[in-house]
Structure 1
């Protein structure tokens, strides 16, 4: 989406503010896809568009000059909200306003215009070095992330850390994971408990097991079929974990991506890979979801490929990496006449062509040739040479 002048005026009128008291000089500070170094007069941000954002920060070593651990919090800002936080020098962290003196917070809000000259403006408009505004990019990357999704997945303070955040991909005792899931369900964490610190930094990713992608009590033929085609896993996950709403699945896909890209939490990459593999390898599901889930998935993946640093995707497209195979699976499945009905879908085909061109041009990789090689290999494997999965 493009930011029209009228929309920009509306954002200027409804923008939120975040007041950051006692911020140290040279603090690495950012919001969404923007990052700066704080100066001596920095007091926070203004003109923050209402909606979903990620505020992050990291202190710099006075000896080496290198940035420390990235920490941040996700927040849905309300129109004209004034959110007050304070830097805690002892812990090198930000204290949320709920942990501050309520009277002090009210005084700061009342006197907000005294700080306005020292509030940095959220970048809303393009400039020569950034022809596409970062807010426009952020919207493309996060438009399906909702409040219920974030509240289900994140700790109550919405905080994450590149070092101490944990999830189902972390090397944790199963009892800790079970305790965390129970606490999340009950909406409570036992303060002072032996695993309190871990529980407060646990991210509740949806448990998707790519190795168990077939039905219970499946026949050998079904095991083989759904080992290769993840459609049963996809439809089961939609029903069990996402209330049948594919947009919640894509919302988690977007959250996992920005958690890794901006939050620098590696577990986000692992969940993103898992979800991408599941969707790309779901051939049978195209009959049901090609005009809905797959249509929107192409938009989501297109934006992610566009915004991610090129060196990451260059490495990810190496012959041993999952992403090359996932993209080939997706394109081959969507162009296989056996996996879709006979009625053409020009909009879907146009989106797929745009995505193939983006990947081919940006990474100098012939996707079309890779798809032809996949089909040729499948033709050779038919009959007595067809793959069999033994469980």
Structure 2
């Protein structure tokens, strides 16, 4: 994710033709009364707002992720909050900042206010930062499969993606007294659970799953090849690709750690589905493309510190690349594309996908 200058006030330079096109077709997002210094971002760009900031103009039509964090006078940054919005061409979206909750107000701007702002857009020009179009291609590469329908299926019911899990005491209803009581844990403390409506509604991925009434042979096969799990959860290719990108964006941009865990689970599911690799070549060709763009956006030291702990990504991708090499049923174009991706990762990160992992090596008894 890119950070701009420390203050977001004025427009960023771009060609006149591009600027004219975006002025005609682009959307406007206004955020009123936001305090100076607030962390604000859209897609792959993040800034701290300046004194004049009232929003962003020239937003390309399509799906975007807007996010923000309140910053205290001592410089402490609150957990990040964001939301997906599918901007229409020439849309004018107006939100207001609530200084008491340090969040966007739930009170919507009136139609009259929106109309007034739209009619006076020229006067607001100096208060609106231009969408950083140079990074738009990157955003598209990270979100190309995320549709409005996928957002509606996955986003929290509250509509807000929050980096810090919002917890509340678990409660139970005592039937006799018809009242709620707080549930205590083993240490006699209130049991905390995520607040209803605030959780991202990711697909639950079972580690092991097999057909009902399956034979021992079926169970053994499903334990070694997760194609059955993939087919039972994601019959449509675009559904799994959308969730893979949604999880990654919520992790990379939204700072949601649970989204990182879901991303890992989806990568492992796809890499461990050997039969599906041969049967669904378009899905896995797109999977390689999606993963290529995602890996480019994560700093190399992150892989050292987090992803490679336990050799997650190298071990998982080794299984996928082995399928491409050894399964005669794999589409030739997919095989070539996947192995070129392996060569890219080997060169960039010096990851070894060929040598047998130490934990899988045969034990030599002397």
Same fold (TM over 0.5): yes
Query: Into which bin does the TM-score normalised by the smaller protein fall?
Result: 0.7 to 0.9
After superposition, the Cα gap between the structure-2 partners of 1:41 and 1:364, relative to the gap in structure 1 and judged at 3 Å, is: same
Q: Distance in 2 between matches of 1:329 and 1:8?
A: 47
Tell me what 1:18 maps to: 29
| Structure 2 unaligned blocks of 5 or more | 1-14, 173-191
What's the offset of the Cα at 1:319?
Answer: 5.6
Q: Are 1:122 and 2:131 an aligned pair?
A: yes
Q: Distance in 2 between matches of 1:216 and 1:158?
A: 36
Counterparts of residues 219-258 of structure 1 (less than 5 Å): 219-238=215-234, 244-258=235-249
After superposition, the Cα gap between the structure-2 partners of 1:197 and 1:94, relative to the gap in structure 1 and judged at 3 Å, is: farther
After superposition, the Cα gap between the structure-2 partners of 1:355 and 1:7, relative to the gap in structure 1 and judged at 3 Å, is: farther
Counterparts of residues 313-328 of structure 1 (less than 5 Å): 313-318=303-308, 320-328=310-318
Q: Larger % of helix: which? A: 1
Tell me what 1:389 maps to: none
Taking only aligned residues, the RMSD between alpha carbons, in angstroms, comes to: 3.0
Counterparts of residues 191-270 of structure 1 (less than 5 Å): 198-210=195-207, 212-238=208-234, 244-270=235-261
| Structure 1 unaligned blocks of 5 or more | 126-133, 176-194, 239-243, 382-391
8 Å CA contact retained: 2:31, 2:95 = yes
8 Å CA contact retained: 2:96, 2:108 = no
- Please give the secondary structure, in 2, of the residue aligned with 1:54: strand
After superposition, the Cα gap between the structure-2 partners of 1:249 and 1:174, relative to the gap in structure 1 and judged at 3 Å, is: farther
Counterparts of residues 40-119 of structure 1 (less than 5 Å): 40-63=51-74, 65-95=75-105, 99-119=108-128
Tell me the TM-score normalized by structure 1: 0.77
Tell me what 2:279 maps to: 288
Tell me what 1:385 maps to: none
What's the offset of the Cα at 1:124?
Answer: 1.1
The CA deviation string for residues 230-250 of structure 1, in whole angstroms up to 9 with x for no partner, is: 011111112xxxxx3211110
Q: Distance in 2 between matches of 1:69 and 1:16?
A: 27
The CA deviation string for residues 3-46 of structure 1, in whole angstroms up to 9 with x for no partner, is: x9987764453111111111101011110110111111111101
8 Å CA contact retained: 1:73, 1:157 = no
Tell me what 2:11 maps to: none
Q: Distance in 1 between matches of 2:240 and 2:195?
A: 25
- Please give the secondary structure, in 2, of the residue aligned with 1:199: coil
Q: Distance in 1 between matches of 2:19 and 2:320?
A: 37
- Please give the secondary structure, in 2, of the residue aligned with 1:205: coil
Q: Distance in 2 between matches of 1:60 and 1:51?
A: 29
Q: Distance in 2 between matches of 1:8 and 1:349?
A: 42
After superposition, the Cα gap between the structure-2 partners of 1:319 and 1:152, relative to the gap in structure 1 and judged at 3 Å, is: closer
**Paired residues, number:** 330
What's the offset of the Cα at 1:146?
Answer: 0.5
- Please give the secondary structure, in 1, of the residue aligned with 2:274: coil
What's the offset of the Cα at 1:220?
Answer: 2.7
Tell me what 2:347 maps to: 361
